[in-house]
Amino acid sequence: MILLRYNDFSTGGELILKFYDYPIISKEGSLPVFLVSVGLNEWQYHVICGNGDNYAKALYCTKGSGVLIMNGEKHIINPYTAFFIPAGCPHEYYSTDESWDTHWIKPSGKSCTDMLKALGFDKPKIFPLPKEEITYLDRCFRCMHEALLSDKVDGNFRASGYLYSFFIELSRLAAKGKGSVQIAPAVTKAIAYIDENYMKQPGLESISKAAGVSSQHLCRLFRQTLNCRPMEYITKRKIQAAKMLLAETRKTVEQIAEETGFCDSSYFCKIFKRFESITPSQFRNAEQAL
């Protein structure tokens, strides 16, 4: 580990000039995903990887500018830009400014490839970061470094937890940079109406009326925002309420089925198992065991 100066990004304090963390991988190597290295360069030196890196790498910058050459294509990297380089992908990058900061991390683990693919990081990627929304990303990055700095034995376990949060947030910000669908007011109104009336099994027409849009438009908004139709969302909401009652009360399955708006207990058990892959009784037993 090399640490020159440290900064609290949120307070505008003293800047980190450079640090590299290369934890010794031991027990955390059995984790599905773990951190291989994390670092920051206040002034990025020239990096050339003609055969690519052994690990995937995610980088983002907040000031200065540089050039990234990847797959033979040259890209100008401006402030508040992130880029992802898959393992084995030939690349080169260097600063074109007096100061080009790069924050970088490298993940690994037996489930790393699947995690990255699920989050949209299975190919080279360059995308802008919303300047006003990178606070949490910075926090995850900083916490990985602090975990390794404070605990030489088990710090990488905590750092690897922050690593997962980092990629979840990076994926969210990447979607925003591509103009992802925002939560429409109609969806918010529909969800509020469903929360109040799911036990009564409201129809699509009444939900659409409460949301102030047509049924067809509401279905389209739900698919875009929640990846399901309004009526499927109602069922999920009822299952959610049933799970809370199963875990926190002694009410019978029959009582819970009636209270959450299912027509009878057998239908409730059938739908519950379809969504949860276990029966309501099995869910309750598992919660009690915990």
| pLDDT tens-place string over residues 90-124 | 999 998 877 899 999 999 999 999 999 999 999 99
Beta bridge partners of 41: 18, 102
| 183 has a pLDDT exceeding 90 | no
Q: Is 181 helix (H, G, I), strand (E, B) or coil?
A: coil
User: Residues spanned by CATH 1.10.10.60 within the chain?
Assistant: 185-289
**Distance between CA atoms of residues 242 and 124, nearest Å:** 43
**Distance between CA atoms of residues 198 and 283, nearest Å:** 21
| 170 has a pLDDT exceeding 70 | yes
**CATH superfamily of domain region 18-177:** Regulatory protein AraC (2.60.120.280)
The tokens for 290 are 């915990």
Task: Give the pTM.
Answer: 0.67
Instruction: Collect all residues with Cβ–Cβ distance below 8 Å to 23 and sequence separation of at least 6.
Output: 35, 36, 37, 148, 155, 156, 159
**Distance between CA atoms of residues 70 and 93, nearest Å:** 9
**What fold does the segment set 185-289 form as a domain?**
Arc Repressor Mutant, subunit A (1.10.10)
CA-based nearest residue to 21, from 41, 2, 48: 2
Confidence label for 177 from pLDDT (cuts 50, 70 and 90): low
| pLDDT tens-place string over residues 50-65 | 889 999 999 999 998 8
